[in-house]
Structure 1
Amino acid sequence: MSLRDTLKGTGVALVTPFTSNQQVDFDALGNLIEYVIRGGVEYVVTMGTTGETPTLYKQEKLDIINFTYDKVGGRLPVVVGLGGNNTRELLNDLETYPLDKATAILSASPYYNKPSQEGIFQHYKALASATSKPIILYNVPGRTGSNIAAETTLRLANEVGNISGIKEASGNMIQCMHILRDRPREFMVTSGDDHLALSLIALGMDGVISVAANVFPKDFSELVRCSLKDEYKSSRTLHNKMLEGFDLMFAENNPAGIKAFLTEFGLIQNHFRLPVVPLSEHIHDKVKRYLATF
Structure 2
Amino acid sequence: MQKFIGTGVALITPFKNDLTVDVDALIKLVNFNIENGTNYLVINGTTGESGTISKEEKQLIIDIIVQTNNKRLPLVLGIGGNNTLEVVKELQTRDVSEIDGILSVAPYYCKPTQEGFYQHYKAIAEATTLPIILYNVPGRTAKNMEPATTLRLAKDFKNIVAIKEAGNNQQQYYTLLKDKPDDFLIISGDDDLALGVTLAGGSGVISVIGQAFPKEFSKMIQLGLDGKNREAYQIHYKMMDVIDYIFEENNPAGIKTVLQELGICKNDVRLPLVKASAELETKIRKFVSDF
Q: How high is the TM-score relative to the length of structure 1?
A: 0.98
* Alignment partner, residue 118 of structure 1: 115
Q: In the alignment, is residue 205 of structure 1 matched against residue 197 of structure 2?
A: no
Displacement, 1:65?
1.1
**Secondary structure of 1:99 counterpart:** coil
Structure 2: distance between partners of 1:174 and 1:20 = 43
**2:230 aligned with 1:233:** yes
Contact 1:62 1:98 in 2 (8 A): no
> In structure 2, what residue type is equivalent to 1:147?
N
- Mapped to 2, the partners of 1:31 and 1:96 lie a distance apart of 29
Matching residue of 2:276: 279
Runs ≥4 residues deviating over 2 A: none
Structure 1 segment 151-230 matched on structure 2, within 5 A: 151-230=148-227
Q: Does 1:258 align with 2:255?
A: yes
Aligned counterpart, 2:52: 55
* Residue 257 of structure 1, CA deviation: 0.4
1:292 aligns with 2:289: yes
Q: CA deviation at 1:113?
A: 0.5
Any gaps of 5 or more consecutive residues in structure 2?
none
In the TM superposition, what whole-angstrom CA distance separates every residue of 1:162-221 from its partner, at most 9, and x where no partner exists?
111100001111111111111111111100011011111121100000001111000000
1:90 to 82, 87, 90: 87
> Which stretches in structure 1 are left out of the alignment for 5+ residues?
none
What displacement does 1:255 show? Answer: 0.2
| 2:253 and 2:268 in contact (8 A); partners too | no
* Cα distance in 2 between the residues matched to 1:72 and 1:291: 26
SS at match of 1:115: coil
Q: Helix, strand or coil for the counterpart of 1:136? A: strand
Note the alpha carbon deviations across 1:225-272, whole angstroms, 9 max, x for none.
001101111111100111111011111111010000000111001211
Aligned length: 291
The two structures have a TM-score, normalised by structure 2, of 0.99
Superposition deviation, residue 98 in structure 1: 2.1
| C-alpha RMSD of matched pairs (Å) | 0.7
Indicate the larger mover: 110-119 or 268-277.
268-277
Distance 1:273 1:137 in 2: 26
Tell whether the 8 Å contact from 1:65 to 1:98 is kept in structure 2 after alignment: no
Answer yes or no: is the 8 Å Cα contact 1:66–1:98 preserved in 2: no
1:38 aligns with 2:35: yes
| Matches of 2:201 and 2:32, distance apart in 1 | 29
Q: Which of 96, 99, 113 is matched with 1:99 structurally?
A: 96
